Amino acid sequence: MRINLVYYSREALDSFRKNWVMSLAAISTIAISLFLLGVSTIGASVVNDMMRSVESKVKIDVFLKDTAPPADIKVLQDAIIGWSEVRELHYVSKQEALDRLKEDLKDDPEMLKQITGNPLPASLEIWVKDPRHVSVVVTRIKKEQNLSTLVADTDKDIKSGKDVLDKLIAIRQIMNASIIVMLGLLGFASLVLIANTIRLAIFARRKEIAIMRLVGASNWFIRWPFMLEGILQGLIGAALAVTLLAVGRSVVFPQLKEVLRFLPIAFTQTAFIRLVAVLAAAGTIVGLAGSGVALRRFLKV
Amino acid sequence: MVKMTHVTKIYAQDKPALKDVNVAIEKGEFVFLVGPSGSGKSTFIRLLLRELLPTRGDIFVAGKDVVHLRSWKVPHLRRNIGCVFQDFKLLPNKTSYENVAFALEVIGRSRHVIETQVPEVLRLVGLGDKFNSYPDELSGGEQQRVSIARAFVNRPPLLLADEPTGNLDPGTSLGIMSLLNRINRTGTTVLVATHDREMVDSMRKRVIALETGKVVRDQQRGVYGYED
């Protein structure tokens, strides 16, 4: 078996050298495909992190009339805090709202001067446990009795970040779908290119193969060098993709962090190692499948 | 060693290459398969090698049911059949030693076996001084000897030769035939498909004659018997 392995590898490498142009085409297609797979995996992970952080910030604001009776506010507050979906509730008084505005505008004294009196309403800030429950909670608030004494306009004065959230989710879905389609096409192209290089390799060795069959070499003995060649192409493609990704990660990530300072962007070492394993596996599978197709079609044993 | 019963092979419709062929060849026999081009000689050989399956009929080679053999067992069948062809089928980038060794390498023989068997068989076929010659440095007869050495190195019980002297002059052909005869005397069954009239007539071996896919004659110590 030891001798065989040496033999298979020698044959595979030999054929690889002879057909290096086609091999290069196949390898670069795999490298590009796997690179894009890597980029989209990292991208999806980053976007997911960002969305989770945005989701956790989604809250419901209920703006209260200045004339709202404190007792009724208290009743509403107690009711809402009792709901299982609600994580936290905070009453923002008119004064607190003004203080927050002044804090936000402290770098802009001109604007600050414009504010006279206190035009801001008091409000209830509500955080839910799961961002998907935002609309449920909003509907239930709208159904509360005595709401008309507290809130002037149930549509305008009860606000949530739900719309933004829905848009984000939609964007993520479209992004994922288009990435999957693109990867599928690239994977197919890699497979076809590998199959073609293996076909050339089979053609180049057809005399040897004929003799091997004649003297009774086993089918797998004949197939292995070609399978190895396909796997080799897949793995080299994967290695190139990993190198590109590693370089990209060390160059692009720090800059991204700089630009999007308010969002948590991270792709951990462990996640990266897992990605490398996935890419290597994908390269091997595409290589195997490509040579398998070629062997089935062009090597009748 | 070889047994065909009611074997029919049809490639295209209505044009059978072999029609109801019944042949039995015993162990240790030397048999000529003769007939004009297109008479079915090559089909006969390819059926024995299981490169083709018969349309009808049963074939046994070396005790194996060739027709019902699982495809992954075909290589083992072929290890029991040595094969020699008109065009030698040698690898041009390998020396005569390497060409013979290749046949053992690819069926997984150990280096030790290769190093003892290959020189022995090359000496047997009379190429003791041509181990390191490439095919294009050898004459046609010498190339055919390399190819016989390769077919015989594994000591198969059956040796098939398809027009082994088709590309050789009469003198050289004689040498090849006497080599096949020598191999036959070691106990190997030899089947030679040929249309080399003088050869067949001079050897006086069993002759099976095919004509348009039918066995028209099967005689011990026969002659070629056609006027062509």
CA-CA-CA-CA torsion sign (A208, A209, A210, A212): positive
Task: Name which residue leads in pLDDT, A15 or B46.
Answer: B46
Poorest-confidence range of A14-28, A44-58, A78-92?
A: A44-58
User: Residue A103 corresponds to which tokens in the numbers above?
Assistant: 């804090």
- Domain-embedded: residue B158: no
pLDDT > 90? residue B145: yes
What is the mean predicted confidence (pLDDT) over A117-145?
82
Residue B118's pLDDT band, with cuts at 50, 70 and 90, is very high
Same domain, A266 and A174: yes
pLDDT of B148 > 90? The answer is yes
Q: What is the pLDDT of residues B151-163, one digit of tens each?
A: 999 999 999 999 9
Nearest to A219 among B75, B80, B103 (CB): B75
Question: What secondary structure letter does DSSP report for B41?
Answer: H
Segments forming the whole domain that contains residue B1: 1-75+193-222
Instruction: Flag whether residue A2 sits within 8 Å of chain B, measured between CB atoms.
Output: no
- Our CA-based measurement puts residue B1 at a distance from the nearest CA of chain A, in whole angstroms, of 18
Structurally, chain A folds into a number of domains equal to 2
Give the residue from A160, A190, A216 where a domain finishes: A160
Q: Are residues A126 and A229 in the same domain?
A: no
**Shortest alpha-carbon distance between residue A283 and chain B (Å):** 29
Nearest CB partner across the interface for A219, out of B49, B72, B108: B72
- In Å, the largest CA–CA distance within chain B is 52
Q: Are residues A10 and A120 in the same domain?
A: no
User: Per the CB < 8 Å rule, is A4 touching B108?
Assistant: yes
User: Higher pLDDT residue, A261 or B59?
Assistant: B59
Residue B62 lies in a domain: yes
Judge whether residue A169 has pLDDT over 50: yes
The pLDDT of residue A1 is 46
Check: pTM over 0.90? Answer yes or no.
no
Confidence check: pLDDT of A75 > 80:
yes
Which range of residues forms the domain containing residue A41? Answer: 2-54+165-298
- Tokens at B108, concatenated: 């997984």
pLDDT digits (tens, 9 = 90+) for B94-114: 999 999 999 998 888 999 999
Given a cut of 90, whether residue B121 has pLDDT beyond it is: yes
Q: Is residue B185 part of a domain?
A: no
Whether A71 contacts chain B with CB within 8 A: no
Contact in structure between A42 and A249 (CB atoms under 8 Å): yes
Taking any CB pair shorter than 8 Å as contact, residues of chain B touching chain A are: 49, 71-72, 75-80, 83, 89, 91, 102-103, 105-108, 110-111, 150, 154
Contacts of B92 (CB under 8 A, 6+ apart): B134, B135, B136
Counting Cβ atoms within 10 Å, is residue B196 exposed (0-12), middle (13-18) or buried (19+)? Answer: buried
Alpha carbons B104 and A212: distance in angstroms, whole number:
10
Token pair recorded at residue B163: 């027009």
- My answer on whether A24 and A102 are in the same domain is no
- Please give the residue that has the higher pLDDT: either A260 or B226: A260
Same domain, A283 and A172: yes
Report yes or no on B60 lying in a domain: yes
Taking contacts as CB-CB distances below 8 angstroms, the residues of chain A near B155 are: none
Q: What is the pLDDT of residue B127?
A: 94
% of chain A residues with pLDDT over 70: 96
Task: For A223, name the nearest residue in chain B, comparing CA atoms only.
Answer: B106
Smallest Cα distance from A50 to chain B, Å: 56
Give the number of residues written for chain A: 301
Q: What is the pLDDT of residue A99?
A: 87
In the prediction, which pLDDT does A244 show?
92
> What is the DSSP pairing of strand B15-25 with strand B64-65?
unpaired
Q: Are residues A95 and A27 in the same domain?
A: no
**Bigger pLDDT: B147 vs A43:** B147
Nearest to A214 among B78, B80, B108 (CB): B78
- CB contact (8 A) between residue A211 and residue B91: yes
* A241: pLDDT strictly greater than 60: yes
Domain boundary among A121, A137, A160: A160
Confidence category of residue A262, pLDDT binned at 50, 70, 90? low
**Does any domain span residue B40?**
yes
pLDDT band at residue B143 under the 50/70/90 scheme = very high
Place A301 in a pLDDT band, splitting at 50, 70 and 90: low
User: CA dihedral defined by A289, A290, A293, A298, rounded to 10 degrees?
Assistant: -140
Q: What is the CATH number of the domain that holds B34?
A: 3.40.50.300
**Residue A61: count of CB within 10 angstroms of its CB:** 15
Do A210 and A109 lie in a common domain? no
- The mean pLDDT of chain A is 83
How far off is chain B from A221, nearest CA to CA, in Å? 7
Cβ-defined contact of B72 to A7 (cutoff 8 Å): no
Q: Do A211 and B77 touch (CB under 8 A)?
A: no
**Does B111 sit within 8 Å of A221, measured CB to CB?**
no
